[in-house]
A and B are shown apart, each in its own frame.
Chain A
Amino acid sequence: MSEEILKALTQLFAIITKQDGGVSENERQFVIDFFQQELEKSAIEGYLQLYDTISGYTEQQTKHVDDRSNKLTSVKDSIKTLAICKKINKTLTQKQKVVVLIKLLELVSSDKHFTPQRMEIVNTVSTVFNIAQEEYKLIEAFVTSDQVGTLNYADILIADEGTQSTTPIQKHIHAHVAGHLIFMRVSSVSMFFAKYIGEDANNLNGFIMKPSRVYLFSHGSTIKTPDGAALYYSDLVADFNNEIHTTKLSFIANVDEYKFGNGVIGIRDVKIAEGPGKLIGIMGASGAGKTTLLNILAGLEKPGKGKIKVNGFDIHKDKKKVEGVIGFVSQDDLLIEELTVYQNLYYNAKLCFAQLKEEEIHKLVMKVLEDLGLEQRKDLKVGGVLDKQISGGQRKRLNIALELIREPAILFLDEPTSGLSSRDSENVIDLLKELSLKGKLIFVVIHQPSSDIYKMFDKMVIMDTGGYPTFYGNPVEAVTYFKKATHQVDSNRGQCEVCGNVNPEQIFNIIEAKVVDEYGQPSNKRKVTPMQWHEMFKSNFKASRVEDIHEQPPRSLHIPSRIKQTIIFTTRDFLAKLSNKQYLLINLLEAPLLATLLAFVIKYKSAPGGKEYIFRYNENIPAFMLMAIIVALFMGLTVSAEEIIRDRKILKRESFLNLSWNSYLQSKLIILFLLSAIQTFTFVLIGNLILEIHGMTWAFWLVLFTTSCFANVIGLNVSSAFNSAVTVYVMIPLLLIPQMILSGLLFDFDKLNELLSTKGKVPVVADLMTSRWAYEAMAVHQFKNNEFQKHYYDYERDESIADFKSAYLADELKRKNQLLLDFLEAKSDSIQKRISVNKNILYTELRNERFREGIENLNLTEVFIKNGYTKEIGLLLDSYFENYKKYYQKQYNKSAALIEKKMAFYESQGFNIQQEKNHYYNESLADLVKNTTTKDRILEYNGALIQIINPVFQSPKPGHRADYRTAFFLPEKNLMGILVDTYIFNLLVIWGMTLFFYLTLYFELLKKGVSILSKFNISLKK
C-alpha cells in the first residue's frame, strides 16, 4: 500500500469517526491496530498524529468540546470524502476497495456507534467505489451484525453445531464449532470473508481468530477449531457454489500399475477420487511421473492395471459416453502457427459447436479471447519458434483457450506455467481457479509454484521418484504432514506467521533429504526412500469417497457432420497455407523453375546438321518424360511428407473431440491434390512450351497429376507412420529410387535379374511402380496420338503386324513344323520334349491366326494336342506357311501403299508432311516404343514365341480374363476381357494404387506396422 493511499485512508477513518460524537477509544484502538498491521512501529506515530488531527481527537482530549456542536456533516468534510474516494478509485483494485469498505464498517462497528451520518458517509464511499447497493447491504450486515438470524442473504454461510440454517436463504454447514463461524462471499470480486462469533480460540491459517473481527478468507485458507476440525477454503467455496452442486461429475481413477514401453514401472498404486469444482495440483520431483500420471488420467495412455472412470464410464471402454468431456492442454504448443490467434480459436470452435450460428461462434470466440486478455492480439499470427509474434504467456493462454472454449467438464494441464513470468503464471492459475469455481474439475501438473499459486489449489497430489504417490490432500497441510513425519519443530505451522507464505520447496527438501556422512557431506542415499514414503502414505491416507454418479457426464460438444468437418479442416488448412508465404512461394515456383531448368538444359540444336532445334530429333524427350514423372513424384512426396507430422500435436488435442479421421484426411487430400494440380500443370505448360511439345499439355498433365496425387497419398502414409520429419525425408530416396530403377526407361525390363523378369512381359515388381505406369502412359500416348502419327497409326500397325508375320513368324513356324516332320518317328525323350514344345507353339499361333487358307478343315486340337499329327498334315502345313508368308507380304505392301497414298493425299490437300512430323513426332521416342534397338526380334521363351520388336503396334494376348500383363509400351491392355487404351488403363491403375494407399492411410496400417517392428526390436535387446 502506498503512502498516499494510507494517508487517504487515515483521512477517511478520521472523517468518519469525527461524526456524531467524535472518536471513541475503541475506535482509535482499531485504527492503531490497523496501522500496526500495515506499518512499522516507527512510522505509526506519524499517521496516528494525522488521524488525531483530522478526527479532532486531540481537541476532544484538551477542550472537551460538546458533542452536539458537530451534529451535521460539514460541507467541507463531504467534499473531502469525495476527493479521497476518487483518489482511492484511481489506484486500488475493486478487491482492495472492498477490503477498504469492510475496514471502514469495522471501524464504525468497533464501538457499535452507528449514527446515520457515519453510515451515510460509508454508504457514499461504497457508491463512489462502484459497489452495488445489494452487495453493500450484505457487507454492512455481515460486518455490523452479531446476530446470525439477521443475516438473510444467499451469500452468507454459517458453520455451527446446528443442523439447519436459521433463515430461509442463508447457507449452512454443520461443523464442530462453539458459537458461529460466518462466511460471506462478495461475488462481484469472488472474495470470501470470515468472522467468528463465540468463545473458542479458532485458528485461521495458524493464527488465533479474534471474535467479531472480519478476516479475509483467501485461497488455500484453513480454519481449525480447537477440536481439530478443519474448514478448508475449497470446501467452503464448493458449498457456496450452486454450479458445483448442479454439475454431476465424478472422476475415479485407480491406477494400480503402469509400465513404460521398456518395461519400467512408471506409476503405481495411485487412487484419485474427485467431484466437480476442484483444482488439483500434481507435484513431484523430476522423473516422478507427473506427466505420465496426467496422461493416464486423461486417457492418453492406458494403465496396465487399473481403471479410470468418469461418472462410472470407463474412459477407455465407453469412449462414446465420455466423448468431449475431457480436455487436455499439453506442455507443448498445440497451435496452428500460420493462423492468427482468432482463427485458431474460431476453427476449433467450429469443430466443437456445429449447432451454433456463425455469429454465435464469433461471439463465443471473442468472449473467450476477452476472458483470457487476448482480444488485443486476436489478429496477430501465432508464429513459430523463430518468428514469435505473441508472447509465451499469450501462447500458453491461447493453448488453454482452445480447450476452454468447448468447456470440457474435466481439464488436464501439463505445466501450464512453465516458462511464464510469475505474473503470467498467476494469471493462468487464477483463470483455472475461476473455472473450477464454475464446476470444472481441473488437474494441473505444476512445477515450483509460488506460494500464492500453491495455495490456490484445492488439493495436491505429490509424487515421488519411481511413480510412488506420497501425499494427496490439502496443499498447506502437505507441509505440516511432511514436517510432522520427520519430527521437525514447529510442525503445526504450514505457512509463515507474518506473511502467510507457504514454501512448497520445503516439501521436496524433506522428501529428498539425503543421509549425511561422517564428514557432514550429503551422500547419495536418501533418508526416507520413496517406498517408505509410500508406506507412510498408505497408512495415513484413505481415499475419500466421492458420490458415485451414473449419468451421462456434462458435455457441450456438438460435432459437425463429416462433410462439414472436411470443409472446416480444408478451410483451416488452406488459410494456414496461404498465410505461410514462404511455403506458398516455394511450392508454386518449384515446378515452373524445375521445368525451365530441365527443359532449357535439354533443348539443343537437334536438327541433323545442328543448325536449329527440331522437336523430332531431340533425343532427350524420352528422358524428359521420365524426369517429369520423377519431379511429379518428388514434389508430391515432399509436399505431403510433413503434413501429418506437423499436425500431430493438433491431432492429439483434437483426439478428445473424436473428430472424423476420414474428414481430416480428405481435407488434406483436397489441398494437396489442388497443389499438385497446379504444380504439375505449370510444369507441363512450361516444359512443353520450351521443348515445343505440341498438343500434349492436357494428356501429360493428367498423367503427372495422377502420379503426383499418388505421391501425396504415399507421403501422407509415411507422415502418419513416423514421428520425425527427418525420418520422413530419409524415407523419400527409399521410395523414389526404386521408382527410377523400375521405370522402364533407365533399365530395360528384358535385361533384369532373371528372378524378377519375365521375357516379353513387364516384371511384376515393376508393376508395383507408379513410374512405370505413368511413363508407359505418357510415351504410348505421345507416340500414338500426336498430331502427325495419329493419322497413320492404324495403317502402320497393320503394316507392322504383317511385317512381323511375313518376315519372322512365318519362317519360325515353318522351322518348327519341319522339326516335327523330321522327327516324326523319333522316340528319344529329349526330342519328344522339343516336339511337344513345338506342337504347343504351333497350336497357340495357329489357333489365333485369321489366315486359314488351306487349313480350313484342320482340327488343331486333334493335330497338336491329341497326337493326330501325320506326315500329310505336316506337308500341308509346310505349304500353308509358304502361303501364309506370301499373304502377309501382300498385306504388308497393301498397308505400306496405303500409308504412302495417305501422305500423298494430305500433301495434295496442302499439308506439309515434313513440317508436321518435325513438330509432333519424336524419333527417339519412336525408337523406344518400337524397340528398334533390339537384336532379337522374335524370341522363344518358356514354350512360347514372343515378339520383341514393335511393342507399340502389338495387341495383348491375355492368358486369362484377369491377365493384365503385357510387354512394355503395348497400346492396349486387357481389363477383364475388354481391351482398354493403355493411357486410360494405366491412369486407372495409378488411381487404384492411390485408393489402396488411401485405405492403408485410413487404417494407419503403416503406422501399426512400424510400431510392431519397434516393439520387436526392444524385445530382441532383452
Chain B
Amino acid sequence: MRFILLVAVIAVLFSCTTGKKPDEQAFLKSLDSTKTDGPGVDEEVINAILEQIPSPLEISVLLKESGSKYNQSMLNSSNNLPKYNSNFKKALNLGIYGTDLGYTNIYGQNQDGIKYISSIKSLADELNIGQFFDVETIGRLATNSKNLDSLLLITTMNFNQINHYLQSQSRDNLSVLLLTGGWLEAMQITCQTAVKNPANKELQEKIGEQKIILEQILLLFSFYEDDTNMASLLADLGQLKNAFDKININYTYKESTMEIVDGVAIIKDNSSTTIDITPQNVEEIKTITDAIRSKIIS
C-alpha cells in the first residue's frame, strides 16, 4: 500500500516538469545580432509629434456632452489583464485602460474606475513606471467613496507624467504605444457612439479630424519599423489610413481681423475648416478600428 502511494507521489512530482524549453543557447542563436539597438530617433522630434495627440480625456468629455449613455461593454475589461505579458502589449493596454478610466471618470462610474486603477497600477509596475502611482495615497483615497473623484483625477493626470517620464528615459517607443493605445480606445468609443447616433454631426466631424492625428502617429511609427511588433501594428494602421483617405478636410483661409470689444483689442480668426465625412466612412473606420483594437486587447 505504502509502496503504491510512493510511486503515485513520484509520478505526480515528475509529471509537473514536462514540456522542456529550448535552452538559452538556442535563443541567443536566434537573435539577429546586428539589430539590437534602438532606432535612435531624435527626442525632440518625437516630443513635438506626441504633444499634438489629444488626451483621451478630451474625447470623453465630448461624448458626455453629446448626451450618449455610459456603456461598459465598449471598454476593455480589466479581466483581460493576464493576457498582457510583453512590454508591447502592456504599454498599448496601459493606454487603453487609461482611456477607459477617463471614460468611467467622466460618467462618474467609480466602481469600474477602481478596477481600472488597479489594472493600471499593475501594468505600470511591470513597465517599471510604478512610481507614478503612490499606492499609499491611492489606498487612502479608495477607502472613502467621496474621494473617488480626486482618485480618478490623480490617476488620469499621472498619464501625462508617465509620458514625459518615458520620453526623458529614452523609452519613447513605450510612450508612443501608450498614446496609440489611448487614442485607439478613444477612437473606438467615439466611433461606436457615432454609429449609434448618426444624426450627431459633431461626433462625425471629430472622427474626421483624427485623420491628421493618425498621420502623425503613422509618422511616429515609421521610426520604429525595425521593431516587428510595431511594424505589424503600423501595417494595421495603414489600413485605417486608407479609410481616412476617403475623407476630405478643406481649409479655407481668410485674413484675420481686429475688433475692439469693451475697449480691448481682439484678433478674430476668420479661417474655417470643413470636413467631408459620411456615415459610411464612420462605419468603415469603426470596423477597422475594432479589428485593430481587438488584436491588441486579446
- What is the interface of chain A mostly: helix, strand, loop, or mixed? helix
CB 8 Å contact bits of B64-93 with A (1 = contact, 0 = none): 000000000000011111110111100000
**B228 touches A (CB below 8 Å):** yes
Contact A897 B36 (CB under 8 A): yes
**A917 touches B (CB below 8 Å):** yes
Contact B21 A935 (CB under 8 A): no
Give the contacts of A397-414 with B (CB-CB under 8 A).
Answer: none
CB-CB under 8 A from B13, the residues of chain A are 697-698
Contact for A906 among B9, B21, B37, B38, CB less than 8 A: B21
**A47 shortest CB reach to chain B, Å:** 74
CB-CB under 8 A from A614, the residues of chain B are 82
Give Cα distance in the complex from A911 to B83, angstroms: 14
Contact for B79 among A607, A695, A937, CB less than 8 A: A607
Contact A903 B86 (CB under 8 A): yes
Shortest Cβ distance from B88 into A: residue: A900
Give the contacts of A577-635 with B (CB-CB under 8 A).
Answer: 607-609, 611, 614, 616-617
Give Cα distance in the complex from A923 to B122, angstroms: 9
**B81 shortest CB reach to chain A, Å:** 5
Known: A889-B169, A914-B83. A608 touches B78 (CB 8 A): yes
**B99 touches A (CB below 8 Å):** no
Known: A901-B31, A905-B27, A917-B85. A893 touches B122 (CB 8 A): no
Give Cα distance in the complex from A896 to B90, angstroms: 12
Known: A900-B229, A911-B21, A932-B125. A607 touches B82 (CB 8 A): yes
Contact B85 A902 (CB under 8 A): no
Shortest Cβ distance from B30 into A: residue: A905
Give the contacts of B136-171 with A (CB-CB under 8 A).
Answer: 136, 169-171
**B252 touches A (CB below 8 Å):** no
Binds B, one of A744-752, A775-783, A799-807: A799-807
Binds A, one of B126-134, B181-189, B214-222: B126-134
CB-CB under 8 A from A607, the residues of chain B are 79, 82
Contact A902 B27 (CB under 8 A): yes
Contact for A914 among B24, B85, B128, B171, CB less than 8 A: B85
Give Cα distance in the complex from A935 to B135, angstroms: 8
CB-CB under 8 A from A935, the residues of chain B are 134-136
**A892 touches B (CB below 8 Å):** yes
Shortest Cβ distance from B40 into A: residue: A890
**A694 touches B (CB below 8 Å):** yes
**B1 touches A (CB below 8 Å):** no
Give Cα distance in the complex from A909 to B19, angstroms: 11
Contact for A904 among B16, B19, B135, B228, CB less than 8 A: B228
**B232 shortest CB reach to chain A, Å:** 11
Contact B79 A694 (CB under 8 A): no
CB-CB under 8 A from A933, the residues of chain B are 135
Tier of interface size on chain A:
35 or more
CB 8 Å contact bits of A940-975 with B (1 = contact, 0 = none): 000000000000000000000000000000000000
Contact A903 B85 (CB under 8 A): yes
Contact for B77 among A609, A897, A899, CB less than 8 A: A609
Interface centre among A607, A609, A694, A698 (most CB of B within 10 A): A609
**B100 shortest CB reach to chain A, Å:** 14
Give Cα distance in the complex from A906 to B228, angstroms: 15
Give Cα distance in the complex from A917 to B85, angstroms: 8
**A189 touches B (CB below 8 Å):** no
Shortest Cβ distance from A893 into B: residue: B38
CB 8 Å contact bits of B8-47 with A (1 = contact, 0 = none): 0100110011010110100100110000111000000000
**B193 touches A (CB below 8 Å):** no
CB-CB under 8 A from A923, the residues of chain B are 122
CB-CB under 8 A from A902, the residues of chain B are 27
Give Cα distance in the complex from A669 to B115, angstroms: 52
Contact A807 B30 (CB under 8 A): no
CB-CB under 8 A from A905, the residues of chain B are 27, 30
Contact A617 B16 (CB under 8 A): no
Give Cα distance in the complex from A900 to B170, angstroms: 17
Contact A893 B170 (CB under 8 A): yes
**B245 shortest CB reach to chain A, Å:** 32
Tier of interface size on chain B:
35 or more
Give the contacts of A865-924 with B (CB-CB under 8 A).
Answer: 886, 889-890, 892-894, 896-906, 909, 911, 913-914, 917-918, 923
**B119 touches A (CB below 8 Å):** yes
Contact for B85 among A697, A791, A913, CB less than 8 A: A913
Give Cα distance in the complex from A907 to B125, angstroms: 23
Known: A886-B170, A904-B228. A899 touches B79 (CB 8 A): no
**A685 touches B (CB below 8 Å):** yes
Give Cα distance in the complex from A611 to B78, angstroms: 13
Contact A685 B136 (CB under 8 A): no
Give Cα distance in the complex from A923 to B134, angstroms: 18
Give Cα distance in the complex from A896 to B27, angstroms: 15
CB-CB under 8 A from A536, the residues of chain B are none
Give Cα distance in the complex from A890 to B88, angstroms: 17
**A497 touches B (CB below 8 Å):** no
**A698 shortest CB reach to chain B, Å:** 8
CB-CB under 8 A from B12, the residues of chain A are 685, 689
Give Cα distance in the complex from A897 to B21, angstroms: 20
**A360 touches B (CB below 8 Å):** no
**A927 touches B (CB below 8 Å):** yes
**A683 shortest CB reach to chain B, Å:** 13
Contact B82 A900 (CB under 8 A): no
CB-CB under 8 A from B86, the residues of chain A are 900, 903-904, 913
Known: A803-B128, A806-B169, A909-B22. A685 touches B9 (CB 8 A): yes
Shortest Cβ distance from B133 into A: residue: A932
Give Cα distance in the complex from A933 to B139, angstroms: 11
Give Cα distance in the complex from A900 to B228, angstroms: 11
CB-CB under 8 A from B128, the residues of chain A are 799-800, 803, 807, 892
Give Cα distance in the complex from A698 to B9, angstroms: 12
CB 8 Å contact bits of B169-180 with A (1 = contact, 0 = none): 111000000000
Contact for B36 among A617, A806, A894, CB less than 8 A: A894
CB-CB under 8 A from A937, the residues of chain B are 131
Give Cα distance in the complex from A911 to B85, angstroms: 13
Contact B22 A608 (CB under 8 A): no
Known: A800-B128, A807-B169, A889-B170. A900 touches B87 (CB 8 A): yes
Give Cα distance in the complex from A909 to B134, angstroms: 39
Shortest Cβ distance from A688 into B: residue: B16
Contact B170 A617 (CB under 8 A): no
Give the contacts of A669-715 with B (CB-CB under 8 A).
Answer: 685, 689, 694-695, 697-698
Shortest Cβ distance from A934 into B: residue: B135
Give Cα distance in the complex from A894 to B37, angstroms: 7
Give Cα distance in the complex from A963 to B142, angstroms: 43
Shortest Cβ distance from B85 into A: residue: A913
**A192 shortest CB reach to chain B, Å:** 63
Known: A897-B36, A927-B125. A608 touches B85 (CB 8 A): no
CB-CB under 8 A from B229, the residues of chain A are 900, 904
Give Cα distance in the complex from A900 to B35, angstroms: 14
Give Cα distance in the complex from A948 to B152, angstroms: 28
Contact A893 B171 (CB under 8 A): yes
CB-CB under 8 A from B119, the residues of chain A are 608
Give Cα distance in the complex from A914 to B24, angstroms: 20
**A505 shortest CB reach to chain B, Å:** 62
**A45 shortest CB reach to chain B, Å:** 80
Give Cα distance in the complex from A913 to B79, angstroms: 17
**B213 shortest CB reach to chain A, Å:** 26
Can you list 8 A-B pairs with a CB-CB distance of less than 8 A? A607-B82, A609-B78, A787-B17, A807-B128, A889-B170, A896-B87, A898-B31, A901-B30
A-B residue pairs, 3 tightest by C-beta:
A609-B79, A889-B170, A608-B79
Residues of B that sit less than 8 Å from A by CB: 9, 12-13, 16-17, 19, 21-22, 24, 27, 30-31, 36-38, 77-83, 85-88, 119, 122, 125, 128, 130-131, 134-136, 169-171, 228-229
A900-B87, A906-B22, A911-B21 given. 13 additional CB < 8 A pairs?
Answer: A608-B81, A609-B79, A695-B17, A697-B13, A886-B170, A889-B171, A892-B171, A897-B36, A898-B31, A901-B30, A901-B31, A902-B27, A905-B30
